[in-house]
Amino acid sequence: MSNRKKVWFEDAERKLDPGLVEQLRNSRKVSKNVTSNNEIPIIVYLNNCNQDKKDDLLHACNVDSHNKLGKELHSINGVKGHLTPDKIKQIKDHEAVNRIFYDRIVTSFLDIACEQTGAVKVREQLNLTGNGVTIAVIDTGIHPHEDLTNPSNRIIAFHDFINGESKPYDDNGHGTHCAGDAAGNGTLSDGKYVGPAPEASIIGLKVLDEQGSGRLSTIIEGLEWCMDHKEEHNIRIISLSLGAPAYESFRDDPLSLAAQAAWHQGIVVCAAAGNSGPTAATISTPAIDPFIITVGSTDDQNTLERTDDLIADYSSRGPTIDTLIKPDIYAPGTNIISLLAPGSSIESEVPEMIIDGNYIQLSGTSMATPICAGIIALMLEANPELSPNDIKSILKATSHPTLDDIWGYIDAESATRMAKSYLQIPAETVQES
């Protein structure tokens, strides 16, 4: 039995999350001690205490150039910043500190797909296009592609958390593709590459950089922006084609809790399951959260027939870290043709995937997620009174058990028809009972 004395961060129990412990261990190996001046990006959960104690914590963390703490994350009662290992050791037992997390890296994970899901029938038979519904795409940004701006500009807002730019742009290209997956109208393809909701409004929130990566805290800021501007822009749906490995229960995970907070404020949150399949237990955060809609990806074999469709090998499988069943729904995500952002990283990385100069073909649960979000926009246009829980219930109830005779495969027509006729209990009935 080893007699090695534990280092302080190994003996901190629940105060430090496993990811932070690993970072501290790595920092110690590099510096040969625990007083390295290498700052670590962190998120601090705060205790419910008076403002004086919180101010004391902030003062203790902002007395020198190597440490900074203070950007509030109100949805999780936390603050973000950069602290040295020495400072983390100093404040971990502070009265205002509940727990400290490593601010982990988050990464970004339409032709036949739209007709195959039944979205084309919804437009033709029910005359629904997502008009009046706003989808917020939290991703790498958004290029003002003509399929989103012609005949009218449907990009109603843009916010850049990475570089602070005011006009819509996308230096990576992933977010633009996702926006088209949900709401492209096919202007530059004569209607060939159309998303499920070609008249929905789009908001682009840039939380990932040119390489398609960012921090947990920046994604949380994007989610909080949506909550703060929900009424102003009629934000009904958030599409999250991004994620990070899940090391904690959804009850503790910062990104999961923030996504859950948006859900409870009445916004339908769709999150990609992840691209770590076919191994089991690979669902990423925030997709581990049991409230939000977790979307897996299918391979439709480029045919309209659904019987030959398969769960894509890359699509992450459940159960979650909490042993919950996920994904909640599957949508096409393989070889999806959608909008190209000119001059983006993706354009230079996979030039062989460019189609007709204005589109690009990509695969992943990243593509399945906004397709699901677009279908939800049709449902909300049909019945604006639906709650996030209503939407999730309808999607699951109307899905087809065609994937291994178990998993639910999204059916836009059935879901939208049920949404349109979905009964709401009159307020007077509730009061009388």
In 3D, which of 246, 241, 183 has the Cα closest to residue 212?
241
Distance CA 233, CA 327 (A): 29
Q: Which helix (H) or strand (E) holds 249?
A: none
Rg of the chain in Å (alpha carbons): 22
Q: Do 108 and 241 meet the contact criterion of CB atoms below 8 Å apart?
A: yes
366 is catalytic: yes
In 3D, which of 2, 342, 19, 413 has the Cα closest to residue 172?
342
Residue with tokens 């589109």: 359
**Residue 367 CB-half CA count within 13 A:** 27
Q: Do 202 and 185 meet the contact criterion of CB atoms below 8 Å apart?
A: no
Distance CA 201, CA 179 (A): 10
Distance CA 431, CA 426 (A): 9
Which one of 366, 399, 411, 414 is the catalytic residue? 366
Number of Cβ within 10 Å of residue 230's Cβ equals: 18
Number of Cβ within 10 Å of residue 192's Cβ equals: 14
Distance CA 43, CA 253 (A): 11
Q: Which helix (H) or strand (E) holds 95?
A: none
Residue ranges of E strands in 143-240? 155-160, 201-206, 213-215, 235-240
Task: For 19-73, give the DSSP string.
Answer: HHHHHHHHHHHHHSSS-----EEEEEEEPS--HHHHHHHHHHHSSSTT-EEEEEE
DSSP summary character for residue 292:
S
Angle of helix 365-382 relative to helix 119-126, nearest 10 degrees, comes to 20
In 3D, which of 105, 94, 115 has the Cα closest to residue 47?
94
- Chain centre to alpha carbon of residue 293: 10
Which one of 17, 111, 139, 209 is the catalytic residue? 139
93 is catalytic: no
233 is catalytic: no
Q: 3-state class of 425 per DSSP? A: coil
Token pair belonging to 100: 């400290």
Which one of 174, 177, 344, 390 is the catalytic residue? 174
Any idea which residues carry the catalytic annotation? 139, 174, 366
